[in-house]
Amino acid sequence: MKLPAPGALIGLALVSFALLATSAVVLQQPALLPVSVPAIELAPRARFTDAIVAQERDSAASDAVFPSGAPRLYAAADLVDVPAGSRVGVRWISLGADPAGEGTVFSADEMVLDSRLARASFILGRPVGGWVPGAYRVEMLLDERVQSSLAFLVQ
């Protein structure tokens, strides 16, 4: 078998390349058909509703005024679309009643939800000597963001 001369192979390759370059393949785009896309439902926003501060655990409404001898105060809220793993917390804040001054956080608590709960509830016991009369606020937090802030008085 006789092999072609080296220059002949180069010429054959150039001719093949030229043929490929000049023969264009035209691809037609398929016609666009109208498509119905279902509405996307966004994930619900986790939040608190019906937050209260009260003397009774099962109270449906907030109390605005508490006696200085109240044995305990409850802060509670309904949880809506709050997933497991979220951090729910509370901050009890003096608005001038505390000797340390206005805005003093005198108690705080937090829990990590291990399952979906319908309601979060926190208890704060009476300090020794009773509550100092004055204005207070309780803040309820979801993942360190205030979701509810309720003011109350102790007389």
The mean of the pLDDT values for the chain is 81
Dump pLDDT digits (tens) for 43-53: 468 999 999 99
Say how far residue 1 (Cα) sits from the centre of its chain: 79
Dump pLDDT digits (tens) for 58-113: 898 999 999 999 999 999 999 999 999 999 999 999 998 777 678 889 999 999 99
More confident call, 14 vs 38: 38
Superfamily of chain region 47-154: Immunoglobulins (2.60.40.10)
Task: Note whether 82 and 113 are within 8 A (CB).
Answer: yes
Res 155 pLDDT > 80: yes
Res 6 pLDDT > 60: no
Which pLDDT score, from 0 to 100, does residue 20 have? Answer: 45
Please enumerate in sequence order all residues whose Cβ is within 8 A of that of 83, keeping only pairs 6 or more positions apart, or say none. 46, 113, 116
Res 147 pLDDT > 60: yes
Residue among 48, 109, 108 nearest 78 (CA): 48
- Tell me the domain boundaries of the chain: 47-154
Q: Is 119 helix (H, G, I), strand (E, B) or coil?
A: strand
